[in-house]
Amino acid sequence: MSLKLIRPRYGTFSGGIDLPDEKDATLESPITPIEHLSHLYVPLAPVHTTPAKPIVSIGQRVHQGEKIAQSSGDGQVDIFAPVAGRVSKFCQVILPVNTPASLCQNRDEYIIGWRVSPAIELVDLDEFEPFPSTSSTYDWLAADDISLCERIAEGGLITFNQRTVALANYISAARNAGVDTLIANVMENTPYITSDHRILTERGLEVIGGLSIIARAMKVSNVILAVDHRRTDSYRQAIAPSRLHGIRTIALANKYPIGSTAIIIRVLTRRRVRAEGEGLEVGVAVVDAATCLATYRWVVFGEVPAARVVTVSGPAVKNPANLLIPFGAEVGEVFASAGAEPDCVTIHGSVMTGNEIIKCTTPTGESIPAVVSASTNALLAMDQQSASDDVTPTPCIRCGWCSDSCPFRLNVAALNDDFELGRINSAKRRGCMYCIDCGICSYICPARLPLARRIKLLKLAIVEETARR
Ligand code: SF4
Ligand code: SF4
């Protein structure tokens, strides 16, 4: 066997599809702070556990970065004011939720895919100051792993992905699990979204610093920065310094869904993950560029996380952009500022895995708005034609396209039968819980069956069934 053949090879997995890129509108758009927000609804449960307890009163004025709610100590984080303003009222917001277990706790057809969180409304906002600190207040290079863990815990840091958890808890779980590999996943391979790309392009040095801090806190030496092979030219500024910190940069082909946690772990380490988000079980932790940036800003400058970069785009948006948006900004206000058409379909996250933004109200008819949170990497506005959910499904024709393209080679047509016949145990035996909600089966099905949604509901039923035993 030649030496070439035994060298590690990356970038392959079975199934998957090539998606249209559709990123031209924002690929070169620099990160710009959003202007003119009238109010914020700051969520008190960014992590899906007991909400933080407010420590401010109505009418009180708070400054940017001031603590406004105390962690419940239940995996929750302290909450800080993203922008200076006046506390106007206590209210509720909806936040997206994508894990089967979380769906189970919130089972309610009206809000499936979303959960309700208490919030604090801030009005009379001052101008939002992006990245206000310029001088370092903490020498992280001289700090040991325990000191870094303590520092991270103080900052209310969370993971900026769809499974939002306190970063300190994630690091602690990684240490307990004996994780040996840390991946920064910048494989942003769904249409329209460029927020992580812009973060790595414009703030690459800080991303590398944050990744190094997390690696040191986790006590992991095998650290990988995974990027899209088409974009490496944009990341030159970050790639050279990454070598100084012992970080390997690996450029991967962009076949969808390589950006999912389960697939990127499989591609880079050949370890098989039981389900999306369970990488720690196979010794691999995965973070994203936004988490690394927030970690660096807090640890080095003492700047609490207050905002995130959001791609606001889609065919029904007049002014697509990568906006730095404070947590708690109402998505309706963001879409209005981007010139979204009034009758468009709005999506939180990607067109493949995101949640359509719904109108939610309390039993007394009060509106519960959707807001920007740590997991909001994109807000997309689609015209009615692009949003194809209204198409009437027809019976399965057994073409097999769904199984051929499923990255876990699940027998999706049989799972659809299980759904239609209510066969929960059969779905479980077929490996339903391996599904990573990538959405390929729905996208590709010629019968237009809403397969991914049906499998999500099957997973929900399995979780509930297991909990009842
Ligand atoms: S069954 Fe799940 S993992 Fe397979 S293609 Fe459908 S959504 Fe993706
Ligand atoms: S892609 Fe649709 S029609 Fe084809 S086998 Fe799968 S479920 Fe049936």
Nearest protein Cα to ligand 1, atom 1: 435
Ligand 1: which atom is nearest the Cα of residue 438?
Answer: 8
Query: Would you state the pLDDT for residue 99?
Result: 60
Backbone angles phi, psi at 357, to 5 degrees: -80, 125
Mean pLDDT of 38-59: 95
Whether residue 406 is predicted with pLDDT greater than 90 in this model: the reply is yes
Q: Is the CB–ligand 1 distance for residue 263 below 6 Å?
A: no
pLDDT digits (tens, 9 = 90+) for 253-268: 989 999 999 999 999 9
User: Distance, CA 88 to ligand 1 centroid (Å)?
Assistant: 44
Read off the pLDDT band of 230 (50, 70, 90). very high
Q: Is the CB–ligand 1 distance for residue 458 below 6 Å?
A: no
Nearest protein Cα to ligand 2, atom 2: 445
Q: Is the CB–ligand 1 distance for residue 275 below 6 Å?
A: no
pLDDT digits (tens, 9 = 90+) for 214-228: 999 999 999 999 999
Whether residue 453 is predicted with pLDDT greater than 80 in this model: the reply is yes
Q: Rounded CA gap, 232 and 251, in Å?
A: 7
3-state SS of 253-287 is CCCECCCCHHHHHHHHHCCCCCCCCCHHHHCEEEE
What token pair was written down for 305? 């996380």
The CATH label, of 3.40.50.150, 3.40.50.720, 3.40.50.11540, 3.40.50.970, for the domain at 10-17+134-301 is: 3.40.50.11540
CA distances for 18 relative to 12, 21, 189, 256, 258, angstroms: 13, 9, 9, 6, 10
Q: Rounded CA gap, 82 and 86, in Å?
A: 12
Name the residue ranges covered by the structural domains of the chain: 10-17+134-301, 34-131+324-340+355-372, 391-468
User: Distance, CA 394 to ligand 2 centroid (Å)?
Assistant: 10
The answer to which of 36-50, 88-102, 392-406 has the lowest mean pLDDT is 88-102
Q: Is the CB–ligand 1 distance for residue 437 below 6 Å?
A: yes
Backbone angles phi, psi at 408, to 5 degrees: -105, 10
Whether residue 384 is predicted with pLDDT greater than 70 in this model: the reply is yes
What token pair was written down for 27? 């690929």
Read off the pLDDT band of 465 (50, 70, 90). confident
Task: List pocket residues of ligand 2, CB cut-off 6 Å.
Answer: 396-402, 412-413, 416, 445-447, 449, 451
Nearest protein Cα to ligand 2, atom 3: 396
pTM over 0.75: yes
Read off the pLDDT band of 2 (50, 70, 90). very low
Ligand nearest to the CA of 405: 1
Mean pLDDT of 275-289: 86
Q: Is the CB–ligand 1 distance for residue 47 below 6 Å?
A: no
Query: Would you state the pLDDT for residue 311?
Result: 98
User: What rounded mean pLDDT belongs to the chain?
Assistant: 90
Query: Would you state the pLDDT for residue 1?
Result: 42
pLDDT digits (tens, 9 = 90+) for 190-211: 999 999 999 999 999 999 999 9
Mean pLDDT of 68-97: 93
Q: Is the CB–ligand 1 distance for residue 412 below 6 Å?
A: yes
Whether residue 111 is predicted with pLDDT greater than 60 in this model: the reply is no
- The architecture CATH gives domain 391-468: Orthogonal Bundle (1.10)
Q: Rounded CA gap, 262 and 387, in Å?
A: 27
Among 255, 353, 415, 438, name the best residue to mutate to test ligand 1's pocket (greatest count of ligand atoms within 8 A of Cβ): 438
341: exposed, middle or buried (Cβ count in 10 Å: 0-12, 13-18, 19+): middle
